[in-house]
Amino acid sequence: MKLLEGKTAIVTGAASGIGKSTALLFAEEGAKIVVADLNAEGGNDVVKEIERKGGEAIFVKVDTSNHEDAKKCVEQAVAKFGKLDIAVNNAGIAGHTQTVGEMDIDGWNKVIAINLSGVFYGMRYQIPAMLKNGGGSIVNISSILGSVAFPGAAAYVSSKHGIIGLTKTAALDHSKNGIRINAVGPAFVDTPMISDIDHEELKKIHPIGRLAKPEEVAQLILWLASDKSSFVTGSYYPIDGGYLAQ
């Protein structure tokens, strides 16, 4: 039997990168997928790819910084598939590289709104839907920069630290209700988000000597989403090629 047979999952930021790899892997493991993203073209391409492989999926256009969009996403998931079992709150942006003393206020607010408030908005509506279903699993995508700092990335670092605290608190709030909530902390992953950064230099800061592949991160997310991790909640799992061991 497939790991997610009969489950319904929302994956935000699913048009590319980690989100896309996660949506495709979940579908292979039997889940019905809500592909949530602002990028309608990319999102619909992911839906078509899932359907070509025999899976079920819909695309919902979602701006994670808008709580009404988060609510709509859950409503459409339940309307289409009857329930919600799993959510992966993955959508995020890097923002501009600026020192704290020079940081653009609007730029700060945008990163926090998408990366941190977006995870809260997602869970705010995902959890009540899961409660009606007797429980579920939520995986929030933080970063290695949820544990350590990085120069010029104050908004991103703050948002990813915040996700870990939010994840732990939500897990304590809802463990008794059968909802497990965990966070994943990838190092630098070979996705469009870092396309403008020198990959050779990034490889040097990972002891393993390369960047992560989105498919590798998706495998950890799958484990946390599935019943294989049934006693795991409130935890933060780096997947970083040794980055945080330095």
Q: Which residue has 């599935």 as its token pair? A: 226
Cα dihedral 229, 232, 237, 242, rounded to 10, equals: -70
77 backbone dihedrals φ, ψ, rounded to 5°:
-60, -45
Q: Does residue 237 have an active-site annotation?
A: no
User: Which residue in the list 121, 125, 156, 237 is annotated as catalytic?
Assistant: 156
Q: Which residues are tagged catalytic?
A: 156
